[in-house]
Structure 1
Amino acid sequence: MTKLVLTLHVLAAIVAIGPVTVAASMFPATARRAASAPDGEAIARARILHRICRVYAQIAVTVPVFGFATASLMHVLGSPWLITSIALTAAAAGVLGLLVLPRQHAVLTALTEATAGSRIDSATTARLAMLTGVFNLLWATVTVLMIIRPGSTTGA
């Protein structure tokens, strides 16, 4: 049972977190291009990237669910590396849900509004790129903790 739940945890992480990190990383540059040469196609690309981020962020909820199940089956819920991973996962979810996704939405709103005052500047997309980088760094750290954890029985 442990192997099945661990497999589902890893697959959920790959399938859900991977697309979010890629799409979120692509969004700022796509938004800059759409702002500099606004056309329907450029804005549509930014809209699609935002939608990918939103949908896969919702699917990503399964990652900690399977993670908690795996940790429970392995009897490691109190391990410091796991508690650190949980805290970093919560931080990554907070960065994505409270900072990245709302800013992406605001950029899309600015791109689609007709008023000149709603245009975006490079500082806006640069901040969004920085926040996305923080999100990606948090997930990379969690991944490393999951692979190289203290007390690992893999012998690696």
Structure 2
Amino acid sequence: MTKFLLSVHVIAAIIAVGPVAVAASMFPAVARKGDVVVLTTLHRICRVYAVVGIAVPVFGFATAGVMGVMGDAWLIVSIVLTAIAAGVLALLVLPVQAEVLAAPARNARLAMYTGIFNLLWATVTVLMIVRPGSTTGA
């Protein structure tokens, strides 16, 4: 069961978080060019995959429960960083993208928010792989 849950968790992360990271990263550059059609598509990708991304922590919690690592520091830090990343996406990235769509203009904050979002996810990914304090030798 652990292998199945971990596999679904990793696949969900790749399928859900990857497109958001790429589309959100592309958005500021496309906004500078003013291509509203592409901006609309990128914003839709971010919104839809943000919702699909809920599967990542759901299967993550299930995996952690089966593995018995719910109290491990690396997991707690990962959970906190994931929550912060979700907040940055929901409260900063998506609303600013919507502002840009409503009134096409360059928004320097958007690139910064997107960078923070991506940095948080990169950190979570490293924590999931390295798992500081783990006895697996990874």
TM-score of the two chains, using structure 2 as the length reference: 0.97
AA of the residue aligned to 2:98? H
2:12 is aligned to 12
1:3 is aligned to 3
1:2-52, Cα deviation, whole Å (9 max, x unpaired): 000000000000000000000000001101100xxxxxxx21001000000
Establish whether residue 55 from structure 1 lines up as the match of residue 48 from structure 2.
yes
Instruction: Structure 1: state its 5+ residue gaps.
Output: 35-41, 112-119
1:23 is aligned to 23
Report how many residues are paired.
138
1:38-82, Cα deviation, whole Å (9 max, x unpaired): xxxx21001000000000000000000000000000000011110
Seq. identity, %: 68
How do 1:59-138 and structure 2 match up within 5 A?
59-111=52-104, 120=105, 122=106, 124=107, 126-138=108-120
Equivalent-residue separation in structure 2 for 1:13 and 1:132 (angstroms): 17
Instruction: Structure 2: state its 5+ residue gaps.
Output: none
SS in 2 for 1:77: coil
Q: What is the Cα deviation at residue 150 of structure 1?
A: 2.2
Structure possessing the higher radius of gyration over alpha carbons:
1
Equivalent-residue separation in structure 2 for 1:51 and 1:153 (angstroms): 42
